[in-house]
């Protein structure tokens, strides 16, 4: 544990030696680094999952951990786990539950507009319903897509 702590402190000190505009940034980074160093093991684990989620690195499921948060969580660590779970709800997944067969072509075209898929890939994706069409987007981005798909005859859920 000492090596990452030392690396963070060295990094924050090297950032502090730049101009005054970066001085406020480095103070902010210094504060963040200090807060991260003060987290307990369970809070660090929850933070790492949340950070990966925010960066979009959660494409392959949750991180594997040796911790069992339900059995070994302390009183302080349990509240951190619930805080992380509520913070994660800023990103949503659009899930296509089912669709009207008559509107299949329109739905495929709409799926192509908000994904970077070709016609064949979009068709295969739609035919696999129920399936998640898009992961980790904000509610503001998801609502127009959901509304458009519902207008076309699809049953769509935000998860």
Q: What is the pLDDT of residue 29?
A: 85
Each residue's pLDDT tens digit in the chain (159 positions)? 455 656 666 555 555 554 556 677 788 888 888 888 888 888 888 888 888 888 777 655 554 554 444 444 444 455 555 555 555 567 888 888 888 888 888 988 888 888 888 888 888 888 887 888 888 888 888 888 888 888 888 888 888
Tokens 């129920």 belong to: 130
- Which domains can be identified in the chain, with CATH numbers? 2-58+72-88 (no CATH), 92-158 (3.30.1390.10)
- DSSP annotation string for 89-138: TTSEEEEEEEE-GGGHHHHHHHHHHHS---HHHHHHHHHT-SEEEEEEE-
Q: What is the pLDDT of residue 79?
A: 53
Phi, psi of 129 (to 5 degrees): -50, 140
Q: Please tell me the distance from the alpha carbon of residue 39 to that of residue 65, in angstroms, as a whole number.
A: 17
Per-residue model confidence (pLDDT) at position 64: 52
């Amino acid at each position: 544990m000492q090596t990452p702590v030392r690396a963070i402190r060295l990094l924050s000190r090297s950032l502090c030696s730049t101009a005054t505009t970066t001085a406020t940034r480095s103070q902010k980074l210094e504060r963040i680094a200090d807060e991260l160093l003060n987290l307990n093991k369970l809070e660090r684990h929850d933070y790492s999952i949340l950070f990966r989620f925010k960066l979009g690195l959660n494409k392959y499921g949750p991180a594997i951990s040796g911790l069992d948060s339900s059995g070994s969580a302390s009183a302080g660590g349990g509240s951190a786990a619930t805080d992380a779970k509520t913070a994660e709800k800023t990103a949503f997944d659009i899930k296509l539950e089912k669709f009207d067969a008559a509107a299949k072509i329109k739905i495929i075209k709409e799926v192509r507009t908000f994904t970077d898929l070709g016609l064949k890939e979009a068709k295969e994706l739609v035919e696999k319903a129920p399936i998640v069409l898009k992961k980790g987007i904000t509610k503001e981005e998801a609502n127009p897509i959901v509304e458009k798909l519902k207008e076309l005859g699809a049953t769509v859920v935000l998860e």
